[in-house]
Amino acid sequence: RILYLSFIIMQRGRRSPATILRQLLLVSRTPLFSNNKNCAPKKLYAANPLPLFEDENDGKTKTEWKKRRQTTADELKPPTTNTNTNQQFSMLTDTFNRHHDYLRISLTERCNLRCLYCMPEDGIDLAPKDDLLTTEEIERLVKLFAKEGGVRKVRLTGGEPTVRKDLTDIVERISRIDGIEHVAMTTNGVALKSKLDALKRNGLKSINVSLDSLVKAKFEFMTRRDGLEKVLKSIDEAIRIGIETVKVNVVVVRGQNDDELLDFVQFAKEKPVNVRFIEYMPFNGNKWETRKMVTYAEMFDTIQKKYPSIARIPDETKSEVGKNFQIDDFQGTVSFVTSMTNHFCGGCNRLRILADGNLKVCLFGNAEVSLRDAMRVDNASDDDLKAIVEGAVKRKKAKHAGMENLAFMENRSMIRIGG
């Protein structure tokens, strides 16, 4: 921490006093070593009597907990993974020994909402329909990623995937591919309810519904559209018909919906859903600022004051994105996605194929390679595609650039990447 603060002071000649002060405040609120996803924010040690580690009631003292936060030689090594799996599916194993078995596919750049953090205020130039991957191309790529790369889970995103007319057909084709064990979808829920039965019958197992406000007027302000009641009915319908997992994604923005934290926690108390609070992230056109971001530590403190029984749920895998918590007498759970203050790059197992066919190996990276052009222009064989994908994965960096740099990096808007 001292070294980092010293570095900031050294930048005085190139940065304004306001920027320096903002960075100092930011550092004071974040974990000492943010690459350790199992660590609680530093400020919680004094305020929170509940351990936030997986071995939660192991009797460790606070001193022992702090020792666990020290960077060790083991933490600097690549994450321990199944070596046999990595060798068998080397196409999707990077130079840091991370195997990527989770593929996210954006089906379209179009959306029926205009969320402030996702869609630039002046809109975007959408890719022509002919530039998007066809149903057959999507199926071919998933087969390749499953057979040669060991992909087991596929998530369909957008834009808004429900605006694509062949959505049900895509879900059915993917769910029948050998090796694919789980098909999921991220949606805003506005047009979802009438499609749920068919999607479930054809293999959809879980959904994430993006919902940033439970207040009608605020929902309309944040999305620039009406539709809150439709979203809530879609969530209820998904629960009713037995969708295996229903999650609610809440991007928390200071001054917009941070006053609804406890309302969303109450939502998880009344319904068997996982409410996920997501730190506000910088993307092209969303006017990201540090002051707009509500940190994991701040959100947790607010919730813990109201619900002191909140307790950490052990991670099922090392690639778990959310820090998951349960609260006594709740039907559902709450989670925090801490991309900004406590990144989880070390266990990343995700790759993205964008609607226009570009492969993106990191959400915050700007390096992309076109699989569509390889198939259409170069008439690439599966072996050719395998080589292209493997080359991109091997170039993946150990972690993203960090929040101060991300805000100034060129990247697509969120709607063109896919949630």
Tens of pLDDT, residue by residue over 361-395, are 987 677 899 999 999 999 999 999 999 999 999 99
Q: Is the pLDDT of residue 358 over 90?
A: yes
Q: Quick check: 6 pLDDT over 80?
A: no
Confidence of residue 344 (pLDDT cuts 50, 70, 90): low
Give the residue ranges of DSSP H helices in 81-213.
Answer: 83-88, 135-149, 167-175, 196-201
Q: Is the pLDDT of residue 231 over 90?
A: yes
Which range in 226-240, 277-291, 359-373 is most confidently predicted, on average pLDDT? 226-240
- The rounded percent of the chain whose pLDDT value lies above 90 is 57
Phi, psi at residue 154, to the nearest 5°? -125, 130
pTM of the model: 0.76
Phi, psi of 219 (to 5 degrees): -60, -45
What is the pLDDT confidence band of residue 79, given thresholds at 50, 70 and 90? very low
3-class secondary structure for 353-411? ECCCCEEECCCCCCCEEEHHHHHHCCCCCHHHHHHHHHHHHHCCCCCCCCHHHHCCCCC
The per-residue b/e assignment along 90-120, b for 16 or more CB within 10 angstroms, e otherwise, is bbbbbebebbbbbbbbbbbbbbbbebbbbbb
Taking Cα atoms as reference points, which of 222, 211, 157, 217 lies closest to residue 185?
A: 157
Higher pLDDT, 343 or 272: 272
Residue scoring higher pLDDT (74 or 131): 131
Beta bridge partners of 311: 326
Angle at 152 between CA 148 and CA 158, to 5 degrees: 105
The answer to whether the CB of 132 falls within 8 A of the CB of 355 is yes
Q: How confident is the model at residue 12 (pLDDT cuts 50, 70, 90)?
A: very low
Q: What is the mean pLDDT of residues 96-103?
A: 95
- Confidence tier at 316 by pLDDT (50, 70, 90): confident
In the predicted structure, residue 286 carries a pLDDT above the cut 60? no
- The answer on pLDDT for 192 being more than 70 is yes
Q: Closest by alpha carbon to 349, among 101, 104, 105, 179?
A: 101
Sheet holding 333-337, edge to edge: 311-312, 322-326, 333-337, 274-279, 245-252, 204-210, 182-187, 153-157, 102-106, 350-353, 358-360, 368-370
Question: What's the pLDDT at 26?
Answer: 45
The predicted model gives 296-312 an average pLDDT of 97
Strand locations in 188-235 (E) = 204-210
pLDDT band for 112, please (50, 70, 90 cuts).
confident
Closest C-alpha among 94, 115, 174 to residue 399? 94
Are the C-beta atoms of residues 251 and 379 closer than 8 Å to each other? no
Count other Cβ atoms within 10 Å, centred on residue 236. 13
Mean pLDDT along residues 93-99: 94
User: Nearest CA to 286 among 115, 120, 109?
Assistant: 120
Which two structure tokens, joined as six digits, stand for 65? 């907990």
Predicted confidence at residue 33, as pLDDT, reads 35
If one compares 7 and 43, the residue with the highest pLDDT of the two is: 7
Structure tokens of 230? 């439709």
Residue 108 CA to chain centroid, in angstroms? Answer: 18
Residue 113 confidence (pLDDT):
81
The structure tokens listed for 188 are 């805003």
- The candidate with the shortest Cα–Cα distance to 278, out of 298, 301, 251, is 251
Confidence bin at 214 (pLDDT 50/70/90): very high
Instruction: Round to whole Å and give the CA distance between 392 and 198.
Output: 35
- By mean pLDDT, which of 3-7, 184-188, 388-392 is the weakest? 3-7
Q: Are 299 and 280 in contact (CB under 8 A)?
A: no
3-class DSSP state of 81: coil
Query: CA 114 to CA 227: how far, in whole Å?
Result: 12
DSSP 128: P
First and final C-alpha spacing in the chain: 33
pLDDT, mean of residues 308-329? 93
122 or 354: whose pLDDT is higher? 354
Strand, helix or coil at 262? Answer: helix
The predicted pLDDT at position 225 comes to: 84
pLDDT confidence band for 115 (50 / 70 / 90): confident
**What confidence category does residue 42 fall into, taking pLDDT thresholds of 50, 70 and 90?**
very low
Q: What is the largest CA-CA distance in the chain?
A: 62
Percent of residues, the chain, with pLDDT higher than 70 = 70
